[in-house]
Amino acid sequence: MKARQLYLTALVTTALIGVGFSAAADYPERSITMIVPFAAGGGTDVTARTVAPYLEEYLGGEIVVENVPGGSGELGATRIAQAEPDGYTIGWMNVTNTMANAYARDTAYETPASFEPIANVVFDAAMVVVGPDSQFETFQELLDYAAENPGELTFATSGISSDSHLNLLLLHGESDARFTHVPFEGGAASRAATLGGHVDVLSSTRSEVQPYHEEGELRILAAWTEERLDALPDIPTLKEHGIDLTSGSWRGLIAPAGTPREIVEQIADAVEEMVNNEEFQRRSEDIRLGLEYMDADAYMAFLTDWDERLTALWEAEPWQ
C-alpha cells in the first residue's frame, strides 16, 4: 500500500513538473500585461516604457504597459497579486512604497509573500530638491533652517508610504530637521508642485529631476547615495553632511505568487540580457536610469532585508 502511494505521488509530481516545463517551453504564447502601479509620467512609468521594447525582443512576445495608479502603488500591486499566476501578468515593484503600504493599512497583499520576485532592474537614486528661487543654496542651509524652525517648511513626496515619504521619515530620524509632509499622487504631481513654487522641498529621484536641474528649473541640493554620482559630481551626498542614509527607488519586476519558477527564470534571463545590451545601457543613461540587476534569488533576499528594515522603521515612527 505504501509503495503504491509513493508511486502515485511520484506520478503526480512528474506530471506537475512536466506541466511546468511545457508551459515554459511555449511561453509566451500571447501578449504579456506589464502593470505600472503609478500614473503616466513618473519614474516607474518611464522605466517601464523604456524596458518594454527591449524585453519584448529578448522574451519573444508582445508586452502591453498598463498604468494602474492609486493608493501610492497599492491598487497596481493588488492587481498583480490577484492576477492569474501564469506569467501573462507581471508588474513593477518600487521596493519601499509597495512594501510600506502593507504596514500602513490592510492591503489585499502581503510582501513579499504575495509575489514572485523576477528581477530588479533599476536603482534610481533619491535627491533632495528645491525650486530655482529657493532661499536655500546648500543642503546644510536647508537642514539648519528646518531644525531651527520645525515644521515651517513643506516637504513634497509622491504619496503616503511612497519611497520619498519614507525618505522624509528617515531624515527625521537621522537629523534635527523637521518638515511638514505634503503628499501627492505620484512623482509627476509632486514635481509640478515644486516647479510651481507651491512647496519648499521635494524628495524625488535622479531620473525625474536631473533634466530640470540641468535646465535651471529645479535645484538638487543633495543625493542619497554612497558616493557622488559621476553624472552629478557637484552634488554632495547626505553622508557628507553627517547623515548616514542612502535611498532611492529600486524598481524590479514581480509576478503573482505561484507563477511557475521556469517562467520566472525565463523572464529574469531576458532582463539580464537586456541590461547587458549596450544600446539599452546608453538609452538608460540618456534618461538617467541607474541599472542594478538582481536575479530572482538575489531580489528575494533584497526584499526580505527591506522588510526587516521597514519593520524597524514602522516601530520607530509609524506612517499613515
Please tell me whether residues 138 and 62 are part of one structural domain. no
Are both 86 and 135 inside the same structural domain? no
Task: Report the CATH number at residue 225.
Answer: 3.40.190.10
Has residue 202 been placed in a domain? yes
**Burial zone of 23 (CB within 10 Å; 0-12 exposed, 13-18 middle, 19+ buried):** middle
In a domain, 279, yes or no: yes
**What are the tens digits of pLDDT across the range 149-174?**
999 999 999 888 888 998 999 899 89
Cβ atoms of residues 165 and 99 within 8 Å: no
> Quick check: helix, strand or coil at residue 249?
strand
The per-residue pLDDT for range 284-309, each reduced to its tens digit, is 999 888 899 999 999 999 999 989 98
How confident is the model over 226-270, as pLDDT tens digits? Answer: 999 999 999 999 999 999 998 998 999 999 999 999 999 999 999
Question: How far apart are alpha carbons 265 and 242 in whole angstroms?
Answer: 41
Q: Identify the CA nearest to 213 among candidates 195, 228, 196, 198.
A: 195
The answer to whether residues 224 and 231 touch, using CB atoms and an 8 Å cutoff, is no
Given this model, what pLDDT does residue 182 score? 96
| Residues 6 or more apart whose Cβ sits within 8 Å of residue 120 | 250, 251, 252, 253, 292, 293, 294, 298, 299, 302
CA distance 132 to 216: 7
Number of domains in the chain: 2
One-letter amino acid for residue 37 of the chain: P
The domain of 155 spans 125-241
Model pTM? Answer: 0.79
Does 106 lie in the same domain as 66?
A: yes
Task: For residues 166 and 135, state if they share a domain.
Answer: yes
Q: What is the pLDDT of residue 23?
A: 54
How far apart CA 40 and CA 188 sit, in angstroms, is 8
Same structural domain, 129 and 221: yes
Look at residue 190 and tell me whether its pLDDT is greater than 70.
yes
Q: DSSP H helical segments within the chain, as ranges?
A: 2-26, 43-59, 74-82, 95-104, 139-148, 163-174, 187-195, 206-214, 261-275, 278-286, 296-316
Residue 94 in any domain: the answer is: yes
Please state, in angstroms and rounded to a whole number, the distance separating the CA atoms of residues 153 and 141.
13
Kind of pairing, strands 115-130 and 201-205? Answer: antiparallel
In a domain, 50, yes or no: yes
Q: Do 118 and 253 belong together in one domain?
A: yes
Contact 130, 221 (CB under 8 A): yes
Would you say residue 30 has pLDDT above 70?
A: yes
Instruction: Give the C-alpha distances (Å, rounded to integers) separating 281 from 223, 248, 274, 285.
Output: 22, 19, 9, 6
Query: Last residue of some domain: 196, 218, 241?
Result: 241
Instruction: Read off the pLDDT of residues 3-17 as tens digits, 9 standing for 90 and up.
Output: 444 444 444 444 444
